[in-house]
A and B are shown apart, each in its own frame.
Chain A
């Protein structure tokens, strides 16, 4: 029995057709699996390894390499604050510090209600609109501390997603 939804399994089938070597599909498979499950559970790792005919260790190597792949649950809203050069110059660090205060967690922390998690990240490709924050797959740009509070509030009241 697969632990993934039928839709995801269909997606995997299609992915696997795209590459000459099955293990090339590992990164997208992991990413989609993480989207569905929230994080990469031991069962998910086992199943993906088996589908690719790779060892679980090989899957762990890839997960360890990419910081966007995680083996621990994140919050429902994963707040990723960029503090790389452009954002840094335009107040990224303050944004990050403020997030810590507001959410009451440190880097990689999850709020007790499981709603938010926080992560300091490298450039997310939104330099032109720095400082930027990514929440799940949504971007929030040209932020100030005040704007950030509004963003977080929206998520908290369930207005978004």
Chain B
């Protein structure tokens, strides 16, 4: 890392430049807008110096030097455009091209290939090489990774990103010299996390993706920034859309909070949008069977039945979504409270945000929440529960980044030896369910047995994979864990659903006792889980965690929404479903959620309940509905989403899907049919209302609209919130599953099938 205190001055092409000591020459040139071409150099990966494309002339050095490995030095005089340099570049290209096929017309990388660009710019038009080129057929290494060996220029970026970045180490180099070749870990195929990082980092078309290969050209697509709709980390995925259909996802422009990182879901999971089972027409149950009907008929049916239920004085329950945008969630709870006059509203909870905000009450400044990127530079991170590698791939990537580049000390408290233990500074393995007790121990109370595995520290890059035989440690060793942790300052505390309610208060108590500024990240599972909580999809909490029972707060929203809302807290999801199971619920309105998958309700009990489901697919819940309304997916609409850290980002949509409507449009139409004059469904207008009225959401509009993220801060004051902690039910997703939605991704299924087949063999 560059030593920022000391600047050195040097000359490049007769320009005087300065850069911090320790800066690589290639980076210093880039900062000064001096182009030094490169292939193998990739920022934040280890140095390779394999391609010789970055050669420059440095005075007093006998030969040309690789700018990607030389550090700037005081008084250094550099030429990047001299005749020897130009010649060297040309030769480097000629050399690389000796065995490169003339594939450009069919190659996926055509049009965005670094080799193409460089050859165009610096290359030789003719080759002196007359030998026969070595050909090898394209190989399929996994459902998503294909390898076209002759195109490979041996830059080893793929090998490094898979090993250093992903900590998977699935790619290697076979043979030697001219016959060097990239090889997969299972001889002729890959067994890996299928993230596709290697494909996107490949400067040429040697590694190509199963989803995109031979489909289209970069200039035939529009590229629209979206937030991944799968886990709660909120990666930006730039969708390549051709003829209104998504054909690829990547983030090569490194524009989001995730840089160029995406896991398989963000990169290839988008194909659910074109799944053949996608609903294209509303369905209404007639004589026991769901029949396709017109939108008008379906919506009128819903409005009429809601009115009848209200008139009969029977309860209506509303279950919202953790994938729909903030604007839709906000309007949904407004619809429930104002139009349906019910507080029986909830969502699938995977983290206890109210408890966190309650515990943080009064700690406004400095900001007690950490953004995802902060993990890359943290001095110390305390991670309790969860398995980020599977459940929060971006945060895991950032944690590995911090460990690798900034020597972050990771303290791990978990019931499982999760993969991130390989980056851990200290790891305490405690019995499942005793995480809360362990936190109490850290606060000086209680006893907990922990298996404490000690690592060699951040310099040891490949910590043993199987710390199987470590002795069961006693309280003293967890004591050692505590002692070390207490000496850390500016710690970021990241915790999973293992901690909830009082445990979180204990955690914040511990965090507050640490030196410096302690910041927190609560891990929730779905793309907008945090947003759903912030927007008030709770029976007792209005947007911004203001209690519905709080008269002043309620009145504020009543005047904003032009009328009364019920004052008593409603039923939570468990009670709503329980009431339905007893046949006592009048209506159930489910938006983008599939509660019956894990909590089946007896169809007989539902006979007197009017069930409306608004979703993309005929889920377990939708199959039992009286009316099914086809909704558009996250990639087909605009709005904002809040990731698990609280970062608000813009969703731009871009894809089109015939027949379905946005949840927002459906809500507004229903409100109209039920006699409420809502303005046109305009996500921007609603976001303005949210910014003005939901505490913590007065984020910078410019920042959000410009496509970057803004950290929301819903820490306002105490959050009196009584609820059953059992309502928090994490998905426990793997890298290849995503609640109910992942099941409709062909790419994810292909991986799961491949793994099942491999297990059987």
Q: Which residue of A lies closest to B179 (CB)?
A: A64
Taken residue by residue from 149 to 173, chain B's Cβ proximity to chain A (1 for < 8 Å, 0 otherwise) reads as 0000000000000000000011111
Q: Is B175's beta carbon under 8 Å from chain A? A: yes
- A96 smallest CB distance to B (angstroms): 20
Q: A55-B185, A56-B185 are in contact. Are A61 and B464 (CB under 8 A)?
A: no
Q: A53-B464, A53-B465, A56-B185 are in contact. Are A61 and B174 (CB under 8 A)?
A: yes
Q: Which residue of A lies closest to B465 (CB)?
A: A53
Q: Is B121's beta carbon under 8 Å from chain A? A: no
A65 to B173, CA, bound (A): 9
Q: Which residue of A lies closest to B181 (CB)?
A: A64
The answer to whether B175 touches A64 (Cβ under 8 A) is yes
The answer to whether B169 touches A61 (Cβ under 8 A) is no
The answer to whether A64 touches B183 (Cβ under 8 A) is yes
Q: Is A58's beta carbon under 8 Å from chain B? A: yes
Q: Is A60's beta carbon under 8 Å from chain B? A: yes
Interface set, chain A 44-69, CB cutoff 8 A to B: 53, 55-58, 60-61, 64-65, 67
Q: A55-B169, A65-B175, A65-B176 are in contact. Are A60 and B183 (CB under 8 A)?
A: yes
Taken residue by residue from 33 to 53, chain A's Cβ proximity to chain B (1 for < 8 Å, 0 otherwise) reads as 000000000000000000001
The answer to whether A60 touches B172 (Cβ under 8 A) is yes
Taken residue by residue from 461 to 477, chain B's Cβ proximity to chain A (1 for < 8 Å, 0 otherwise) reads as 01011000000000000
Taken residue by residue from 644 to 668, chain B's Cβ proximity to chain A (1 for < 8 Å, 0 otherwise) reads as 0000000000000000000000000
Partner of B173, one of A53, A56, A61, A67: A61
Interface set, chain B 436-471, CB cutoff 8 A to A: 462, 464-465
* Residue numbers in A under 8 Å from B183 (CB-CB): 57, 60-61, 64
The answer to whether B169 touches A58 (Cβ under 8 A) is yes
Q: Which residue of B lies closest to A53 (CB)?
A: B464
A64 to B184, CA, bound (A): 13
Interface set, chain B 385-400, CB cutoff 8 A to A: none
A65 to B180, CA, bound (A): 8
Interface centre among A53, A55, A67 (most CB of B within 10 A): A55
A38 to B53, CA, bound (A): 43
The answer to whether B185 touches A64 (Cβ under 8 A) is no
Interface centre among A57, A60, A61 (most CB of B within 10 A): A57
* Residue numbers in A under 8 Å from B171 (CB-CB): 57
The answer to whether A60 touches B465 (Cβ under 8 A) is no
Q: Which residue of B lies closest to A67 (CB)?
A: B176
* Residue numbers in B under 8 Å from A57 (CB-CB): 169-172, 183-185
A137 to B172, CA, bound (A): 31
The answer to whether B464 touches A58 (Cβ under 8 A) is no
A58 to B174, CA, bound (A): 9
* Residue numbers in A under 8 Å from B170 (CB-CB): 57
A67 to B464, CA, bound (A): 29
The answer to whether B174 touches A60 (Cβ under 8 A) is yes
- A47 smallest CB distance to B (angstroms): 15
Q: Which residue of B lies closest to A64 (CB)?
A: B174
A57 to B159, CA, bound (A): 11
A139 to B39, CA, bound (A): 45
Q: Which residue of A lies closest to B176 (CB)?
A: A65
Taken residue by residue from 723 to 752, chain B's Cβ proximity to chain A (1 for < 8 Å, 0 otherwise) reads as 000000000000000000000000000000
* Residue numbers in A under 8 Å from B174 (CB-CB): 60-61, 64
A60 to B185, CA, bound (A): 9
A56 to B174, CA, bound (A): 12
* Residue numbers in B under 8 Å from A65 (CB-CB): 175-176
A61 to B173, CA, bound (A): 6
Partner of B172, one of A53, A61, A67: A61
* Residue numbers in B under 8 Å from A60 (CB-CB): 172, 174, 183, 187
* Residue numbers in A under 8 Å from B464 (CB-CB): 53
* Residue numbers in A under 8 Å from B185 (CB-CB): 55-57
Q: Which residue of B lies closest to A61 (CB)?
A: B172
* Residue numbers in B under 8 Å from A58 (CB-CB): 169, 172
* Residue numbers in A under 8 Å from B462 (CB-CB): 53
Interface centre among B172, B174, B185, B187 (most CB of A within 10 A): B172
A67 to B174, CA, bound (A): 11
A64 to B177, CA, bound (A): 11
A57 to B183, CA, bound (A): 8
- A102 smallest CB distance to B (angstroms): 28
* Residue numbers in B under 8 Å from A61 (CB-CB): 172-174, 183
* Residue numbers in B under 8 Å from A53 (CB-CB): 462, 464-465
Q: Which residue of B lies closest to A54 (CB)?
A: B462
Taken residue by residue from 96 to 119, chain A's Cβ proximity to chain B (1 for < 8 Å, 0 otherwise) reads as 000000000000000000000000
A58 to B163, CA, bound (A): 11
Q: Which residue of B lies closest to A50 (CB)?
A: B466
A60 to B176, CA, bound (A): 12
A55 to B171, CA, bound (A): 11
- B186 smallest CB distance to A (angstroms): 8
A64 to B173, CA, bound (A): 8
A67 to B169, CA, bound (A): 23
A57 to B174, CA, bound (A): 9
7 more A-B contacts (CB under 8 A) besides A53-B465, A58-B169, A61-B183?
A53-B464, A57-B183, A60-B172, A60-B183, A61-B174, A64-B173, A65-B176
A-B contact list, 27 entries, CB within 8 Å = A53-B464, A53-B465, A55-B169, A55-B185, A56-B185, A57-B169, A57-B170, A57-B171, A57-B172, A57-B184, A57-B185, A58-B169, A58-B172, A60-B172, A60-B174, A60-B187, A61-B173, A61-B174, A61-B183, A64-B173, A64-B174, A64-B175, A64-B176, A64-B183, A65-B175, A65-B176, A67-B176
State the 5 A-B residue pairs at the shortest beta-carbon distance, nearest first.
A64-B174, A57-B185, A61-B172, A57-B172, A64-B175
